[in-house]
Chains A and B, each alone.
Chain A
Amino acid sequence: MITQEKYRTTVKELLASGSVKMVIGYKPGSTPDRRRPLFIRTSEEADQLVLDSTCMTNLSGYLVTEGLLSDEKRVGIFLRPEGIRSINILAAEYQLNIEQIVILGFDSTGRDVRPLEGRNAGDFSGLLSEIKEKPVQTSKEPLLERIEKMNAQERFDFWQEEFSRCIKCYACRQACPMCYCRRCIVDSNQPQWINTSSHTLGNFEWNIVRAFHLSGRCVQCGNCDRACPVNIPLRLINQRMATEVLDGFDHFAGLSPTQEPVLASFKKDDTETFIL
């Protein structure tokens, strides 16, 4: 509660001083444990701000809304550490100018919410490095462990079961801050690489391709997972890929706003044990 009150004041100050034109935060949602985005332009709107442990959504995707940043004015945004990583990636991929973003950082343990020190992306580099070295979730999710222990056929069966429920609503894509493409590959029909009908086959292709496009870019904010109406554990695939690029290329997505995209760069001595 104290954090929320402090931040309400901060937001008002930021708006009053004119240092930001808008702050993106959270307000109450349809149920007590749900939050929806709040776009604060006035002091009154700031009073609606809610900041507690249920504020899970990674809001960074709103920053790349067409035209929002084109007037070169600054925008404030509430971000958890994953959200800060997201805007670093968006900056590294030239989707936004990091100088325009004022970060109102927060994190939570249990029900406690605490603010994070700093306002600019650069202020959090120490924090992000710490997370890279010592991931918060040290214990693996039991489900992920279970999948990793399966053989190929069991794994295929598991995902077939999961993906069979997919209805190709693309909520995962809409929720993901990294899915900023003007045209998604699934919507490209010349040629139609991915079956758009929601057969399991097309669902397989869609989810594999999305995971590939997120490799080295996903920060595991969980937006896709929460958005999925049929509860496919999408986070698991993305987690697995994050581990792959971290182990393989020492790449921790979103460590800095100038990080090179892992799949657009290479090292001559990258591992290649799998190549015959």
Chain B
Amino acid sequence: MAKIGVFICHCGENIAAKVDCTKLAAALGEHPGVAVSVEYKYFCSDPGQESVKKAIRDNNLSGIVIAACSPRMHEATFRKACAEAGLNPYLCEIANIREQCSWVHTDGDMATAKAMDIVRSMVEKVKRNNKLQSIEVPVTRRALVIGGGIAGLQAALDIANAGQEVVLVEREPSLGGHMAQLSETFPTLDCSQCIMTPRMVETAQHPKIRLLTYAEVESVDGYIGNFKVKIRMKSRYVDMNTCTGCGDCMTKCPAKKISSEFDCGLGKRTAIYTPFAQSVPNIPVIDKASCIYFKNGKCKMCQKSCQLNSINFEMQDEFIDLEIGAIVVATGFQVQNTAVYGEYGYGKFPDVITGLQFERLASASGPTAGKILRPSDGKEPENVVFIQCAGSRDPSKGVRYCSKICCMYTAKHAMLYAHKVHGGKTHIFYMDIRAAGKGYDEFTRRAIEEDEASYVRGRVSKVWQENGKLMVRGVDTLLGKPVTVAADMVVLATAMVSQPNAKEFAKTIGIAYDEYGFYNEAHLKLRPVESSTAGVFLAGACQSPKDIPDSVAQASASASKVLALFSKEKLEREPVIAVNNEATCAGCWGCVLACPYNAIEKKDIRDRSGRLIKQVAYVNPGLCQGCGTCVTFCRSNSLDLAGFTEKQIFAEVMGL
């Protein structure tokens, strides 16, 4: 016989103001199977919880219903209280009479009537609840970090330095990401490569880090603690074991005029190449699309020049299967294509460049060896115009959000230019200067006050060429009149956008993304580094535009989440999983097809002599996530879902 306790919470005035709790408690007290029905001001408070526990013990209750706020708020609280009182925590149900009743209805009588139905139906459900035990799953203590930019490196190093294994996957031939492309960094103006490359080397040499460059994640299966990941090792055509990175092949390669991705098209590279001189690993790859041998079947100059015989044109992509416990996604961002701004002339006028291209010009390792020279004729520009928000905060053509870093890097560019080209003039068209951050506002002030950057508040409407100059027409909204500046070079502060394949990749890993393709955190404020999928964490600009300090901070936060996960041998999971009735299962395998997690296997049923009688479905409790899609498919009702069984839901509906 059921002995159910009903606990009706006033939630101060939140529930009691609309729902007649006294009437509710009295009515439920009369309901069959209800042994206790009481009300209280705050059941979630300590004395409230104590009274629940006492009622459970005193009345030897077989289940409880807490009529209060949403189960999303306090289900865990009351389950814990149950356990403390010696009642299986899954014999507790929450009747949501706040969010879905008292807060949303105006008529007290109607709200009370609705609350009555809600509580009654939960009482009927809980009568049929089963005692469940949480499921323990083992944790594979090996992390996968996807992306070898600064965020990925930081996360990998933090995890590895704590003694756990890391596999770091980078899609490009070298680690480094965008940070390796930068010249100096704000607000300290220290050289980006000088702080980046040592981290790259440290990562590559770390005994706990397995580095897979020129590799991509093909598929991710499994779940927290137990992911199965397939990695595609793209064929480099260079044997990583024998190559020493001497570079002879690159010198000999006759295909020398390929636009360098690393230099944003401002420099050239060969068909066999490393992206940049300090590449880690310093082992080249052959760009199949540009290689003369792959195109014409003749050349092999690199192979002839290689004394170690490391070039192998027959190399094929290889696949590696990994067992992984946690994943850090640090796949970064890309710079928005500014082709949408035809009026700024990007792509039409060679001296209109993006901020990232300017970084390459200013970089000591860049195509101009750090001299600011314009791409068209290699002359030093005397007058440079910077256009901020070329894409950001522009819902009509670009993106709605603020890219966060452009105010800072534009100020930095103006300073670098001023330091390198004495007497040069800068004009910066801006909407607002957003320089919130440690030392950031001081930095932009310095650009204005010490390096004489001339800030013009307003938008640019047009850029055109006239007498060898780039004419920039804009408006100075503070003076309220149009301005035209004759410039030698124009730099666009382009928006940071998600990677072009960000959405598809999110689907590969099984995480959520927003309308822009940035990955969603589980909670914007309280769980900012966890993705919506358990065991997958986010770091860096794949989540939203970030500067280096923010990316590093988030990467370290992700690493600490991974380490917390790895601190246990086993994970506890909610036992909401499907179970099969093997006696009635007909083995049609519709459930196998319907299951999103490949959690259903075929199990042989044999008689005593070992003869196969039939095959039935078996739900792997480690893999099942408890969606119940298989249960609904099952025509014979052989499958059922613990916690949401057919009996429970039937009773819940009938209790309404």
A–B: direct contact at CB < 8 Å: yes
Name A's B-contacting residues (CB within 8 A).
93-95, 180-185, 188, 190-191, 193, 213, 260-261, 263-265
Does A183 lie within 8 Å of B633, measured CB to CB?
A: no
CB distance from A262 to the nearest CB of B (A): 10
Q: Inside 8 A of B593's CB, which chain A residues have their CB?
A: 260-261, 264-265
Beta-carbon contact of A183 and B590 below 8 Å:
no
CB <8 Å contact, B586 and A263: no
Q: Is B428 part of the contact surface with A, judged by Cβ < 8 Å?
A: no
Among the 9-residue stretches B217-225, B284-292, B643-651, the one with 4 or more Cβ atoms under 8 Å from chain A is B643-651
- Write out the residue numbers on chain B whose beta carbons fall within 8 Å of the beta carbon of A182: 583-586, 636
Chain A residue, CB-CB nearest to B594: A264
CB nearest to B636 among chain A residues: A181
**Contacts A94-B589, A191-B650 hold; do A264 and B633 have CB atoms under 8 A apart?**
yes
Q: Which residue of A lies closest to B646 (CB)?
A: A191
Contact of B590 among A93, A180, A184, A185 (CB under 8 A): A93
Residue of B nearest to A178 (CB): B635
B590 & A264 in contact (Cβ 8 Å cutoff): yes
A188: which B residues are within 8 A, CB to CB?
584, 636-637
Known contacts A93-B590, A185-B636, A185-B637, then 16 further A-B pairs from the complex at CB < 8 Å, ordered by chain A residue: A94-B587, A95-B588, A180-B586, A181-B586, A183-B584, A185-B635, A188-B584, A188-B637, A190-B646, A190-B647, A191-B651, A193-B637, A261-B590, A261-B593, A263-B633, A265-B593
The minimal Cβ–Cβ distance linking B112 to chain A, given in whole angstroms, is: 29
Q: Is B638 an interface residue (CB 8 A)?
A: yes
- Mask, B256-289, CB within 8 Å of A = 1, is 0000000000000000000000000000000000
- Which residues of the other chain, A, contact B646 by a CB distance below 8 angstroms? 190-191, 193
Which one of B615, B635, B637 has the highest number of Cβ atoms from chain A below 10 Å of its Cβ? B635
Which of A94, A95, A213, A265 is packed against the most chain B CB atoms within 10 Å?
Answer: A94
Within 8 A of A (CB), among B532-559: none
Closest beta carbon of chain A to B629's beta carbon, Å:
9
**Distance A193 CA – B654 CA, assembled complex (angstroms):** 11
Tell me the nearest residue of chain A to B653, going by C-beta. A191
Q: What secondary structure prevails in chain A residues at the interface with B?
A: loop
A-B contact pairs, 8 of them (CB 8 A): A94-B615, A95-B586, A180-B586, A181-B635, A193-B637, A193-B646, A193-B650, A264-B590
Query: Which residues does B use to contact A, with CB under 8 Å?
Result: 583-591, 593-594, 615, 633, 635-638, 646-647, 650-651
Q: How many A-B residue pairs have CB under 8 A?
A: 55
Contacts of B638 in A (CB 8 A): 183
Scoring B583, B585, B636 by chain A CB atoms within 10 A of each residue's CB, the highest score goes to: B636
**Cα–Cα distance between A191 and B650 once the two chains are bound (Å):** 7
In the complex, which residues of chain B have a beta carbon less than 8 angstroms from the beta carbon of A265? 593-594
Interface core residue of A182, A188, A190, A263 (most chain B CB under 10 Å): A182
A180 to B590, CA, bound (A): 14
Distance between B272 CB and nearest chain A CB, rounded to angstroms: 41
Q: A182-B583, A183-B584, A264-B594 are in contact. Are A93 and B636 (CB under 8 A)?
A: no
Q: Are B636 and A191 in contact (CB under 8 A)?
A: no
The answer on a CB contact under 8 Å between B587 and A213 is no
B615 nearest in chain A by CB position: A94
- Chain B residues with CB under 8 A of A190: 646-647
Given the complex, which residues of B lie within 8 Å of A183, measured CB to CB? Answer: 583-584, 636-638
User: Which residues does chain A contribute within 8 Å of B588, judged by CB atoms?
Assistant: 93-95, 261
| CB within 8 Å for A191 and B647 given contacts A261-B593, A264-B594 | yes
A contact residues around B633 at 8 Å (CB): 263-264
Q: How far is the CB of A179 from chain B (nearest CB, A)?
A: 9
User: How far in angstroms is the closest Cβ of chain B from A79?
Assistant: 21
Instruction: State the Cβ distance, B635 to closest chain A Cβ, in Å.
Output: 5
Residues of chain A lying within 8 A (CB to CB) of residue B594: 264-265
Q: Chain B's nearest CB lies how many Å from the CB of A64?
A: 9
CA distance A95 to B633 in the complex (A): 17
Nearest neighbor of A263 in chain B, beta-carbon distance? B633
- In the assembled complex, the CB of A263 is this many whole angstroms from the nearest CB of chain B, namely 7
**Chain A nearest CB, measured from B387 CB (Å):** 40
| A261–B651 CA distance with the chains assembled, in angstroms | 31
Q: How far is the CA of A111 from the CA of B212 in the complex (A)?
A: 72
User: Which residue of chain A has its CB nearest to the CB of B588?
Assistant: A93
A184 touches which of B636, B650, B651 (Cβ 8 Å): B636
Which A residue's beta carbon lies closest to that of B592?
Answer: A264
Considering only CB atoms, which chain B residue lies closest to A89 in the complex? B588
Q: Which residues of B contact A184 (CB under 8 A)?
A: 636
Q: Point out the residues of chain A lying under 8 angstroms from B589, CB to CB.
A: 93-94
Contacts of B650 in A (CB 8 A): 191, 193
Q: Which of A95, A260, A263 counts the most chain B CB atoms within 10 A?
A: A263
Query: Which of B587, B588, B591 neighbours the largest number of chain A CB atoms within 10 Å of its CB?
Result: B588
Q: Which residue of B lies closest to A266 (CB)?
A: B594
User: Chain A nearest CB: distance from B656 CB in Å?
Assistant: 15
Q: How far in angstroms is the closest Cβ of chain A from B420?
A: 52
- Least CB distance from B633 to A in Å reads 6
A183 to B636 Cα, complex, angstroms: 6
Which residue of the partner chain B has the closest CB to A260? B593
How far does the alpha carbon of A188 sit from the alpha carbon of B593 in the complex, in Å? 24
**Residue of A93, A183, A188 with highest tally of chain B CB at under 10 A:** A183
State A224–B28 Cα separation when bound (angstroms). 48
Taken together as a complex, chains A and B put the C-alpha atoms of A263 and B638 apart, in Å, by: 17
A183-B615 Cα distance, complex, nearest whole Å: 15
**Which residue of chain B is the closest to A185 with respect to CB atoms?**
B637
Closest to B633 in A: A264
Residues of chain B with a CB closer than 8 A to A263's CB: 590, 633
Taking the closest CB of chain A, its distance from the CB of B560, in whole angstroms, is 36
**In the complex, A181 Cα to B639 Cα: how many Å?**
13
